[in-house]
Amino acid sequence: MASFYFCARKQIINRRARSHNKSVGQRWLKMVDNQNYSERRNATPVASVKQLKEARMKISTVEALKAEGKEIVYLSFNRDVTEKTPHVKRLAKSIKEEGLHTLLHLVPATTALKEGIELLDENGSAVTDGENKLTLVDGNNKFKAILMLRKSGDPGKAVEPIKCIVDEDAKDIQRMVMTMNNVVKTWNDADAIKAASKTKSNETIEFIKEKVKEGFTFSTLSLILLGQKGKITKDVIMKYISGTGELPKCNIAIAKKKLEAMKEVGFSDKFIKNRFPYEAVIKAVNEGHTLYDILEALKKFTPDEVQFAEDRRDLSLLEDKLAEVVEAKND
């Protein structure tokens, strides 16, 4: 049974190492390969002294670290995790029955703060002093699930020490977190844009963040901001955060005018959040119509025509309204 567990651990780490920073993955794997995990409940796994000196990493438990006076803090841009999060509930059930079979990943809070990353304590307050604090960069859901179980009065195997790895030499933490979350549990649009807002905010990022919160998708926002599909994606945002890609230049003022015009005409929020109206606008632009003509054409929609467009889930009537605007200009 121990050999099966050991092999499973190695496979998990191998997968993560291939997608994460190779040097970190290799150091991690090297230690785990030589790690002799104790079956005793309160035993703290340790690596060899030579390996610790070479890698500046150590395997420990959260309980042991707290006994040393360390405090666990959190990345403000990481996913919002609560006891009601479905993934946390699923993990809680598994951990209660089987225990935790992966390591949490911690880095010095001082390193994160030096990189300009905002940290929060367990109460949600900002952390400004990183001394004697460790930042949880991977395992938020698992950690929350264990804490939830321990509070429940029926923790099962969640009472076992929480194994973790402390990476003293961690660098480029933003990219580390992006990579880990792509491998372990893919971020959604809201996760990605929240991270961008916390780390590399600008007018475009804040506009996208606001609209995603309202229910817009990246796909629709790409049409609104750039008139093309696939220009605003999660991959684009994450590459922008990590410094491996650029964010497209967007005219936020024009995007706001489009949305305001849709609202003034009387289109519902549900319709405005869909791609259909913007595809019609893009078609009109490609046919040579100006933004001014398009906005004027939208104003000509009657309440019945608005309802008709919503029922049909398209804005083909825009062509007729544009013809009226052009005719009026030529008179």
In terms of domains, do 230 and 303 share one? no
In terms of domains, do 224 and 164 share one? no
In terms of domains, do 171 and 193 share one? no
In terms of domains, do 81 and 107 share one? yes
Write the pLDDT tens digit of every residue in 124-154: 899 999 999 999 998 888 998 999 999 998 9
In terms of domains, do 17 and 166 share one? yes
**What phi and psi, each to the nearest 5 degrees, are found at residue 156?**
60, -130
In terms of domains, do 158 and 25 share one? yes
In terms of domains, do 203 and 176 share one? no
In terms of domains, do 61 and 146 share one? yes
Average pLDDT, the chain: 81
In terms of domains, do 95 and 163 share one? yes
Angle 134-135-141 from CA coordinates, rounded to 5°? 125
Domain of 232 in residue numbering reads as 187-249
In terms of domains, do 233 and 263 share one? no
In terms of domains, do 79 and 9 share one? yes
Query: What pTM does this model have?
Result: 0.60
Write the pLDDT tens digit of every residue in 233-291: 988 988 888 777 889 999 999 999 999 999 999 999 999 999 989 999 999 999 999 98
Tell me the β-bridge partners of 120.
Answer: 74, 126
Domain boundary among 186, 202, 224: 186
Domain boundary among 186, 212, 229: 186
Counted domains in the chain:
3
Write the pLDDT tens digit of every residue in 196-245: 888 788 999 999 999 999 999 999 999 999 999 899 998 898 888 877 78
Strands 71-75, 133-138: pairing is parallel
Taking the C-alpha atoms of residue 217 and residue 213, their distance in angstroms, rounded to an integer, is: 9
